[in-house]
Chains A and B, each alone.
Chain A
Amino acid sequence: MQPCGTFNTSYRQDMVLVRTPLQWGMLIGFFVFLVLLPVITPIKLGKLQLGLIFFIFTGINIITLHGLNIVMGFAGQLSLGQSAFMAVGAFAVSNLVVKLNVPFIVALPLGGLIAAFVGMVFGTPSLRIKGLYLLMATVAAHFIIAFTIIRLPAIGGTLGLIVSPPSIFGFELNTDTRYYYIVMMVTIIMTILAINLTRGSVGRAFMAIRDDEVAARVMGINTFVYKALAFGISAFFAGIAGALLAFYLGMATVDHFTLIHAIWLMGMLAVGGMASTRGVIFGSIFFNIIDTVTTIVGPIIQSALPFFGHEHVAGIAMALWALVIIIFLIFEPRGINHRWETIKASYRLHPFSYTRE
């Protein structure tokens, strides 16, 4: 819904993303905030700058979640393979950089493309099957990809691949602050890509397939091509996110990309709200807030209750996040995004908020 008093007089005006001077101001203000963040972030845990780490992980989650949103939210194909596609991207980029000496800035999109190819291959079952069956096929894909990476020493092997901090044009990304900037830049680029993709003809084709596949085929949409494309695009996003994660942690290993992680991504999408770019961002931030809180609270619990081991604390984070997903699915199945739009609409219509419905 558009703010009151907005009258579009040209197509250009109708399609533009940022409309009002206020929106421009807020956008620029947000960019300034992102640039200044390393200076102003206050939360520290020992030597770790938790604020920065929070934003790095949130950025990585946002990128991969955009991919999952495209395949699940827009194209309506269930996928639990996102975590495995992240692993593909991570190992592709690591191998390119470490073994072939490809510059990081070239290897990153290249790794994304490799992941996209793998995603398309494992997306082909969607031609014949859908819904829950497809979900199970992607679970199978997850285990097959993980097994392949572990069993081929040329790609990864059991121990994984140790990577040194990447450098872009001779600029070493060896501190959290520097890495934060590159993650934020990639996140912004991928977000713009995701928004525009879903606004265009491809996005409309995805939505047509999601709403009714037979009807979409009748309308002349090549469902097979578009489904494979949806999986490919989603894996492209996942691959880039996986590579950024691997290089941040200094290691590409299958242990970072578990099936539980794929379930968490699905949960983030459900909590944030399906089929909306804003929901993706809400979901990632919400998840990372819970994650960070348990990271901070964990050691406190441990020092208060000495018998409570490290691995026990990990369980709390898992249980908490699962509980949040269940609560959202029961009470707000359309996610935070829907709640946000309700609030926005009632603000815009202020004295007559009841006209919203």
Chain B
Amino acid sequence: MVQLIFPIVMGIIVLVLFRSGRLSLDLSGVLIAALVAILVVTTNDSILNALSDLLSIVYPPLAIVGVAIGLLLGIVIVLAVMISDARRRQTALLRRIAKVELNQSAKKNKT
């Protein structure tokens, strides 16, 4: 049950940021897909054991792995918000440039 808390909390954070428009469509889609994958892996013992065998982990140190992934995802989310913000500003700038150029062009065409 405890293992469910992490992906669910992260998922809620991502959805809230996505809904408010602070996280871009592309970045939030990838994050949600990653969180769903983590949720499936953590809730299914057979998949988790198969994965542990594949990676030669005899005693899956779940707590440490969870904390490490949590920290990494936290950093990724913060970076994703920053990238989304930068893109929003860039888009606003481009819209402004387009508006000025098209207005100038329309005036030139009239004269």
B is a partner of A: no
By a beta-carbon cutoff of 8 Å, the part of chain A in contact with chain B is none
